[in-house]
Amino acid sequence: MPLVDYTRTKRPVFDIDLDAAPYDRWAEVGRRSRSKLGRFMRDIEAMAHDYVDQAVDAAPTWFPDSLKPIARSALKPLLSGLSRITGKLGSWVAKSFGEEYADEIRGLAHASGLPESKIFLANLTYDISVEIERYYGACSSFSVTVEGAPVLVRNMDWALPESTGRFTVMTRFHKGDASYVNIAPLGCVGVLSAMRTGAWAVTLNQASPTGPLNIPQWPVMHRIRKACDASMSYSSLIRHLGDMQTMAPFFTHVIGTKPEQQIVIEGTSESFLKRKPKPGKPLIQTNHFVHMAHRHHNGEDYQGRDCDICDRYAALQKRLRKKPRDFADAFSRIRGGPVTHRHTMNQMAFCPATAEAIVRVRT
């Protein structure tokens, strides 16, 4: 499964009109992608089942083996979203996702003929993966100034499920004449990697767990979507990203159009801390907390350690000792092992100042 340019895949660029009623926004996506969406939902459901098996097998020693089959049979329908979402449960789900985005998911489900519960589950993929993975192949990003403008380069390495790359699509959100483009898995109404030309670009990197999932709060990708929908400028996006509680911790890497507009926001359920690059240096983010006030979240084995916590971080530091010559050269620094590997589902480079973009996906 090679990584190829998005334009060569013949996948569409879906258009989402933010002036339309939320329930109607994704109707065309549902109708045009019914079969593909169904296959992807089955893959996510199978992943959820595997997660339950792992969780039950790792139960404490005091948990009786005789109860493990019962636990599996009880948890799998709940986690895979097969239970009916009605009444009070439906209201709770809507509040957790945000009423507007919950309506979008319902409209997408209706147009595709798929159960709402499965689409809701797909929109929890990031938050579920935080519980499954720790530092394992879960995104690399860096920003650097090239020819007077910041460039954001990233690999998205979430192979949960492993078909994510094949079902990655590009979506254009627009309201009037203003728009931004998002690259995310089919069926996900949240934001994973996005650029608003002339304003900003943002990507999401997975953080390690900082505690139990904060269930009453929104999924991470929907909170980022809300920030993107509301932000016409870099400063506005930074303000919105640093003023949100989410279900799981996260890292957002953001650039604007000026060299000094580069930042990583480390978000936990308790605080939002920011990192900026040192003058003339790149800003790198993988999957560990770098800010000194957050490093205790990396676990006892990683206290006091910096780039050597992650081979991808160390590799990017080495590759970026020499400043990239141009946009294409900057993109080339993310390619090749250990940064790019078999779990890299898509890779991209954004320059909102010039509108340049490269997007490659698994086929």
Residue 10 in any domain: the answer is: no
123 and 155 both lie in a single domain: no
Residue 81 in any domain: the answer is: yes
Residue 316 in any domain: the answer is: yes
* Both structure tokens of 317: 């530091």
Q: What is the pLDDT of residue 108?
A: 97
Residue 11 in any domain: the answer is: no
127 and 189 both lie in a single domain: no
Pairing of strands 3-5, 356-362: antiparallel
91 and 236 both lie in a single domain: no
Write out the residue range of the structural domain in which residue 248 sits.
136-362
332 and 223 both lie in a single domain: yes
238 and 318 both lie in a single domain: yes
Instruction: Point out the domain boundary residue: 74, 106, 131.
Output: 131
Distance of CA 195 to the CA centre of its chain: 14
CA torsion sign for 125, 139, 155, 250 is positive
105 and 161 both lie in a single domain: no
Residue whose C-alpha is closest to residue 333's, from 316, 321, 352: 316
85 and 164 both lie in a single domain: no
Distances (CA, A) of 316 to 13, 122, 276, 323: 31, 31, 16, 12
337 and 264 both lie in a single domain: yes
Instruction: Point out the domain boundary residue: 90, 114, 131.
Output: 131
* Sequential pLDDT tens for the chain (363 residues): 689 999 999 999 999 999 999 999 999 999 999 999 999 988 887 776 655 545 434 444 444 444 434 334 444 444 444 344 444 444 555 666 788 999 999 999 999 999 888 888 888 888 877 766 554 567 999 999 999 999 999 999 987 788 888 999 999 999 999 999 999 999 999 999 999 999 999 999 998 888 877 777 888 999 999 999 999 999 999 999 988 788 889 999 999 999 999 999 999 877 899 999 999 999 999 988 888 888 877 876 665 566 667 889 999 999 999 999 999 999 999 999 999 999 999 999 999 999 999 999 998
Return d(Cα 108, Cα 15) in angstroms, integer.
13
Instruction: Point out the domain boundary residue: 114, 131, 148.
Output: 131
353 and 230 both lie in a single domain: yes
165 and 97 both lie in a single domain: no
81 and 64 both lie in a single domain: yes
CATH number of 357's domain:
3.60.60.10
83 and 145 both lie in a single domain: no
The pTM (predicted TM-score) of the whole model is 0.87
Q: What is the pLDDT of residue 63?
A: 40
Residue 9 in any domain: the answer is: no
How many folded domains does the chain comprise? Answer: 2
